[in-house]
Amino acid sequence: MSDFISANGVMFRICYKNGTPAKGKEIYEGQKLCKCPNCINRNKYDRGTWNQVTAWTKDVARLNDLADFLKGWECKSEASIKTTYYDFDSETN
Ligand SMILES: [Zn+2]
C-alpha cells in the first residue's frame, strides 16, 4: 500500500528509500505518460506504448514545480523508449 499526495492536479506516490517508512525521509514520485503526437499516433496501432517519465523530489515544497515539470514533459522521440527517470532535486538545483 502506498500513500498519495496531489499537487497542481498531479498525483504523487509517497515512497521511502529501501521501502522503510521514516518521518522526514519521504520521496515524492510522480509519473506522466507522454501524449505528444508521436505517442498518440503510435498508440493507434500499438496500444500501451506511451513513453513515460518518472520524476521525484524529497522536498514537499517543490511538488508544485515538479507537477508543472511533469505536465510539460514530452518524450521528444518518434520511437518507443524506456521510461525516463528524473531526479528533480539534483537536476534543477
Ligand atoms: Zn511522446
CA dist., res. 65 & res. 49, Å (int):
27
The string of pLDDT tens digits covering residues 3-60 is 999 999 999 999 998 889 999 999 999 999 999 999 999 999 988 889 999 999 999 9
Q: How far is the CA of 37 from the centre of ligand 1 (A)?
A: 7
**Assigned C-alpha cell, 76:** 521528444
CA dist., res. 12 & res. 54, Å (int):
10
Q: How far is the CA of 22 from the centre of ligand 1 (A)?
A: 36
What's the confidence (pLDDT) of residue 43?
A: 93
Q: How far is the CA of 6 from the centre of ligand 1 (A)?
A: 23
Near ion ligand 1, which residues have CB within 5 Å? 34, 36, 38-39, 51, 75
What's the confidence (pLDDT) of residue 93?
A: 54
Of 11, 14, 10, 12, the C-alpha closest to 2 is 14
- Which run of H or E residues covers position 53? strand 52-57
Residue 62, C-beta contacts closer than 8 angstroms, at least 6 positions apart: 88, 89
